[in-house]
Amino acid sequence: MTSVAHQLQQTLTRLEEARTRAGRPPGAVALLAVSKTFPAEAVREAHAAGQCAFGENYVQEALDKIAALADLRAQLQWHLIGPLQSNKTRPVAAAFDWIHTVDRLKIAQRLAEQRPDGLPPLQLCLQVNISGEDSKSGVAPQDVAALACAVAALPADRVRLRGLMSIPEPVEGLAAQREPHRRLHELLAVVNAALAPGGQRLDTLSMGMSADLEAAVLEGATWVRAGTAVFGGRARSPVAGASVAGAATGA
């Protein structure tokens, strides 16, 4: 059986080759290892091989995993990449470092209100429904700038808006894969222009997964979310029905 450490290194090699091909500087793009449905020990193994940032879809599964790995908390960075309901914002605000899936002002407001004193600001991305799919969460592209301005106005010591995230409709071929990522990158420029009077500039594009990693890097991704490439085939989700709903969020 191929080890997590070996698969992690192969994925990082793909990432680096894509970065070089894109002519982007070292450190311009980072790997977010999507550990949803994998046990805490798989995260521990990946961390031992050098990985520090991990993405989770399901809140309770993530909280259990974070608790099981409490001895590594200062060394790990936890990202929520699945849908967030307003009744679950309090534990998420206390436990995570990044939230990639903010799609309503109410969610951002609750996260700001509930971020505990003494923790650094929670880093936020707005999820954009870049392909316009009815089955996908996210803000419509034409509404992103207004939401970004509202979220950016929240207390900076509690939350910080960093950028945009998307989960495009799966397609085959590098050119077709690049197109929605290009649109998200262009949308980031639009949002930054809208934010310009306040002086804030977004710097994050969370896009691309195991299957379209190269396309995302070529179009400016700063976080690439890869799960199966790092951990192997994914087990059935521990959340009833979530294996279907969340399947496209991070592999």
CATH for 235: 3.20.20.10
- Res 54: pLDDT: 98
H/E stretch holding 77: strand 77-80
Which run of H or E residues covers position 213? helix 213-218
CA-wise closest residue to 44 among 12, 63, 66: 66
Rounded-to-integer distance, Cα 218 and Cα 241, Å: 34
Angstrom distance (rounded) from CA 132 to CA 149: 22
Domain-embedded: residue 147 = yes
Instruction: List the one residue out of 43, 90, 47 whose CA is nearest residue 65.
Output: 43
Residue 99 within any structural domain of the chain = yes
Residue 251 falls inside a structural domain: no
pLDDT of 236: 52
State which residues form the domain around 41: 4-245
Q: Residue 221 domain-assigned?
A: yes
| 150/132 Cα distance (integer angstroms) | 22
Q: Is residue 181 part of a domain?
A: yes
In a domain, 71, yes or no: yes
Which pLDDT belongs to residue 197? Answer: 77
pLDDT block averages, 10 residues each, the chain of length 251: 90 98 97 97 98 98 98 98 96 98 98 98 97 85 97 97 96 97 98 85 97 97 97 63 41 69
CA distances from 33 to 140, 201, 251 (A): 27, 26, 9
**Which pLDDT score is estimated for 1?**
55
Q: Within a domain: residue 250?
A: no
What's the number of domains the chain is made of? 1
